[in-house]
Amino acid sequence: MKRDITSKADIEVFVDAFYKSMTSDDLVGHIFLDVMKVDWDHHLPKMYDFWEMLLLDGHSYRGAPMQPHLMVNQVIPLSKAHFEHWISLFTQTIDSLFEGPKAEEAKTKAFNIAQTWAYKFDYLNKLEK
């Protein structure tokens, strides 16, 4: 039986699993590995703090999440399909590991981020054409 997300350790579990699925994915894996050459020792702790802030009222996150994505977009335009795929992988990851109110909240917040960012990047990419 699955349980709900209740701690930063739980967040680390789903973030690690999510990024493992992302890096091995045909659509987005190359963005992390080849294009941006992500430093995982730096990136993953930021993501732990980000999700802890969103789900458990953590206060450790420092950053501007849009900025690195703008940098990616300069190299590979991010489309609605990228964000739809991102939310699909995120939802699959959460569903495979957890269930409960916080798990549902994580999926809702991720969906809202994906929708908002897909709209913003679509607008930016149209401006640049």
Contact 51, 102 (CB under 8 A): no
DSSP track, the chain: --B---SHHHHHHHHHHHHHHHHT-TTTHHIIIIIS---HHHHHHHHHHHHHHHHH------S-THHHHHHHHHHS---HHHHHHHHHHHHHHHHHHB-SHHHHHHHHHHHHHHHHHHHHHHHHHHHT-
42 known member of a binding site: yes
Residues in the annotated binding site for heme: 42
Residues in the annotated binding site: 42
